[in-house]
Structure 1
Amino acid sequence: MKLKYWIYAARIHTLPLSFSGVTLSFFISKSRTNVNIIAYILCIITALLLQILANFSNDYGDSITGVDNFKRIGPKRTIQCGFISLSEMKKAIYIFSILSFFSGFFLLCETILWKNFFIFIISFIGIFICICSSIKYSIGSYPYGYVVGMGDLFVLIFFGFFSVEGSYFLYTYTLCIDIFILSLSIGLLNIGVLNINNMRDLDNDYENRKYTTAVWLGIKYAKLYHTFVISLSILLGIYFIFLNKKTIYQWFFFIFPVIFLILHIKNIIYMKEKKLFNSELKKLVMLTFLYEFSIGISFIN
């Protein structure tokens, strides 16, 4: 039965990264104005579809280039292991591209179409950019995930700015500097997730000409880079809470996940075996979700 392999290929453990950003902005928006719950639901569906599309595309692209091989330390991929064929995965990529498009289109119709047609057109183009970016990370003649810094930049844009600031705009029809700061904080945490993945597979990526930031920096400086992005994320979060502080409970909700993030940094710095990066990757995914949820829930009146 192939259903379990498709679920595995979707990388369920990464999906909280896609819907936590739109949920965080929903909580904050709801504390400031009336929010269309249908818009929130469509945001979640669209974000999940795009994340699964990206994961399927990564499985397909890394298999073609040879990055997914049995030297790789990370979890085995479905195409690599023969559970799903290249043609089957290619069809799934087409299907999720179409599903992502229609979900995003319905979202824009629900939120923007009757309010500002020009912004609707710009946002409509944005849907195509999101879909293409989900695919082109690993697929094509020049996948941007194989170029130094580009993967990090696109993660910052899509999991930070688009996820938090973009969804906040769809909920409230406004852009705010404090939400921009928060979106940068969230984007940096997601870069941290990508960086752990790249540190873990550094040697294999280098052999297969996948030049990630970790490959370019080397393991020592990749750990320092990791420390920097997580620390900067925390500092930006502190500034956001300072700008929006209403009660002491907001600081309590914020500090709780930060304690674990600091412990995570310590673990990364002193980590010797690359296999241990797998557990820290999953941990940072859940800490990122907890960080976003804690900030968001502190805004509920």
Structure 2
Amino acid sequence: MKLKYWIDAFRFHTLPLSFSGITLSFFISKSRMENVKFSTYILCLVTGLLLQILANISNDYGDSVTGVDNFKRIGPKRTVQCGFISFLEMKIAIFLFSIFSFLSGFYLLYKSISYKNIFVFLFCIAIIFFCIYSSIKYSIGPSPYGYVIGMGDFFVLIFFGFFSVGGSYFLYTHSLQIDMFLLSLSIGLLNVAVLNINNMRDMDNDYENGKYTMAGWLGMKKAKLYHTISILIAVLSGGIFIFFNKKSNMYQWASFILVVIFLIFHIKRIIFLEEKKSFNLELKRLIFIILLYGLSIGISNL
């Protein structure tokens, strides 16, 4: 029955976050170029999912070591903290997923970047190492950056926004487009909102145990305002992208507006939400909305 606990540790319900940005970027690339390789998309997806799983299990381990995961935690119980998976077993898993992530990332770069661009290739290899290091360092080590005010939000914006959308777009097309910055910002800020829900839910326990998040620093009322602003800027960025996109059409606008309506209802629920356990449901809802958001813009762009 150990498999069940590993599935819990991987947090499969969060994996659509990696899928959304990488898939959105793929659809945009396909609409602009005919020779975008599906194999590159699959390798991007595998690498992104492995890195996110690495971050999830590292967080499970790190928060248990520091004591942030304890009986006061409102969110789902963590496997190491509950004793379902031992510290040693999780350490081994972190090591293995670090190796898997590097091998997948290296093969992705080998297949998508010519060796003639050796400096670009080496720069991308350095980014792979940076992603692996950051996935672990979020909550492990003497000074995990996820415990510093604003740093978790910043790196979520970078990894789930600019690397996921803009980085994969570069690997698909071997080019960078200014308008992809808007989509990167949009998806990234929506992911920041997911993290903010998690932090609002456990803000009191986090603060007591030395984990200082934006939500804990701002307080509940201002954290909800921060949440609202993040989503509104994300929506504005997505709308500007569609407006200036040559392939924008009525279907894209219709699907975009539909998702915006879902987001408005989400914001309303967050603002009036008082029971902290209810944040768990809103977190899952927002993940689904982000997936729908990415697919709607990407598919309608085709």
Output the TM-score relative to the length of structure 1. 0.99
CA offset at residue 104 of structure 1? 0.1
> In the alignment, which residue of structure 1 is the partner of 2:91?
90
SS at structure 2 position matched to 1:141: coil
Distance (Å, rounded) in 1 between the aligned partners of 2:115 and 2:124? 13
Report SS of the residue matched to 1:298: helix
Other-structure match for 2:264:
262
The secondary structure found in structure 2 opposite 1:210 is coil
Are 2:11 and 1:11 aligned?
yes
Distance in 2 between residues matched to 1:289 and 1:115, nearest whole Å: 36
Q: Work out the CA distance in 1 between the residues paired with 2:128 and 2:295.
A: 26
Residue in 2 aligned with 1:188? 189
By how many angstroms is 1:115 displaced? 4.6
- Give a deviation string over 1:245-293, Cα, whole Å, max 9, x none: 5321110121111110010000000111111100000100111111111
1:68 aligned partner: 69
Matched position secondary structure for 1:156: helix
Task: Give the AA of the match of 2:251.
Answer: Y
User: Which amino acid in structure 2 is aligned with residue 282 of structure 1?
Assistant: K
Alignment deviations for residues 163-185 of structure 1 (CA, whole Å, 9 cap, x no partner): 00000000001101110111000
Q: Specify the alignment match of 1:26 in structure 2.
A: 26
1:197-239 Cα offsets, whole Å, 9 max, x none, are 0000000001001000001000010000000000110011110
Q: Which residue of 2 aligns with 1:44?
A: 45
What is the distance in 1 between the residues matched to 2:117 and 2:32? 21
Q: How many residues align?
A: 300
Structure 1: where are the runs of 5+ without partners? none
Q: Runs of 5+ in structure 2 lacking a partner?
A: none
Instruction: Summarize the alignment of residues 179-218 of structure 1 with structure 2, pairs less than 5 Å apart.
Output: 179-218=180-219
**TM-score normalised to the size of structure 2?**
0.98
* Greater mean alpha carbon deviation, residues 107-116 or residues 176-185: 107-116
Residue in 2 that maps onto 1:161: 162
**CA separation in 1, counterparts of 2:262 and 2:36?**
32
Deviating 4+ runs (over 2 angstroms): none
SS at match of 1:142: coil
**Partners of 1:61 and 1:247 in 2: CA distance:** 46
Aligned partner letter, 1:237: G
- The secondary structure found in structure 2 opposite 1:67 is coil
Which residue of 1 is the match for residue 294 of structure 2?
292
Give the 3-state SS of the residue equivalent to 1:41 in structure 2. helix
1:33-182 correspondence to structure 2 within 5 Å? 33=33, 34-182=35-183
Secondary structure of 1:237's counterpart equals: helix
CA distance in 2, matches of 1:115, 1:218: 52
Identity of aligned residues (%): 70
Partner Cα separation in structure 2 for residue 107 and residue 5 of structure 1: 30
Take 1:102 and 1:19, find their aligned partners in 2: how far apart are those partners? 19
